[in-house]
Chains A and B, each alone.
Chain A
Amino acid sequence: MRSHLFLFAAIFFSLLNLAFPAYVMAEKDPHGILAKRVGSWKATVNVKVPKAMTFEGEEKIGWALKHNYLMGKGFYDDKLDGKKTEVINLMTYNPLDKQYYIWEFKAAEQVQPVPTVGTWDADKQEMILSADYGKSGTGTGTWKFGEDGSFVWTYEMKDEKGNVFFSVDGKQVKMETNDSPNDKTK
């Protein structure tokens, strides 16, 4: 029964999209988080666990699928060998549960099939991130925008016993470009 209610709610909202597009536009990004991420960013990443290292990259982010998602494409020198690893991100806001969902797909061997889920903390003006990887453990983190417009984030992964096996933080600074913010999947 619960699943039926959820599906009905989802269908209802889908229909609402067509009936009240202006309302839905606001509900797609009620805290303006997604809009702030649009653009080209220069990124620095600091891995603390399992082994300290710092690397850099660039990421270009724009709207996709008729303004329903943010889609980012990045290249990171994460092996410090000059061969940049490509990353694709998708992000959306779900008004049904008022949470953000983030998927990351890497040109690497490992991939997490589940998204990272974000909740906006209005008091702290930051996004609280969490993910459940099942037997692989859990993840927690934060997203925050600095007063200078920079984007600062943290993320930590723990195994089932609570031991931290991956810890990282990063900062991104927006670059001045002539990129169009238009939908990348039109």
Chain B
Amino acid sequence: MTSKLSSVAFLLLLFSACDGEIQSVAAETPQDLMNGWVGTWQVELELKKSFLVPEDTTIRGTETVRWILNKQFLQSQQSYADGNFKKLSLIRYDPNEGIFLFWDFDSNGSFPMGITRGKWDQAKKEIVISGAYIGGATAQGVIQFNNDDSAEMHLRLTATDGTVLLDLKARSEQLR
């Protein structure tokens, strides 16, 4: 069980856009969107069986999001598996490029292995995620907002030969 949890924890780190950055919105702009992320959230992650996940797995945790650095970044602190696995994420919206950028660091010592970007589609109320990582792996995903207090994300990481390395679903609910 410990090994399995460790593997899962490490995997979470690979995908910078994953768990934490999944929230709110009736927002009209990316800035509104980010304001809606501030607060405390309950997160559930479902990892489907894939090349890197030997069997379907679900883990739960909490996340606290706040503005830092003169509101240029959101900082997300996450705790999973009763605090045995922690993450620190930074999120920024680049108005020049019109994209979100995500950085994830965790208590296993893992760190961003590439660049993960997100593009906000206001009409669809979703963020389209794309990532490019060391070794040629890529990520494609989407964050869909159900309302201001909940959202879901699907993310798939694929190797250069088409092998699905990870298939992840996440649900996030704001705690009141």
Contact = CB atoms under 8 A, between A and B. Distances in A.
B165 interface: yes
A53 interface: no
Interface residues of A, number: 36
A10 B69 contact: no
Q: Determine the main DSSP class of A at the interface with B.
A: mixed
A90 B105 CA distance: 9
Contacts of A108: 72
B73 A65 contact: no
Nearest to B158: A3
Given A7-B52, A17-B108, A17-B109, A105 B10 contact: no
B86 A111 contact: no
Interface residues of B, number: 43
A2 interface: yes
A106 B72 contact: yes
B6 A69 contact: no
B41 to A, nearest CB: 17
A144 B1 CA distance: 43
Nearest to B103: A103
A113 B101 contact: yes
B69 A14 contact: no
B61 to A, nearest CB: 14
Contacts of B68: 86, 88
Nearest to A24: B109
B88 to A, nearest CB: 6
Nearest to B51: A4
A111 B92 contact: yes
A49 B7 CA distance: 46
Contact of B107 (A66, A111, A113): A66
A94 B110 CA distance: 8
Interface string A57-72: 0000000111011000
A107 interface: yes
27 contacts: A3-B135, A3-B136, A3-B137, A3-B160, A6-B135, A7-B14, A7-B137, A10-B110, A11-B7, A11-B11, A14-B9, A17-B108, A18-B3, A65-B109, A66-B107, A68-B105, A68-B107, A68-B108, A68-B109, A69-B88, A94-B111, A101-B111, A105-B92, A113-B101, A115-B111, A115-B112, A185-B88
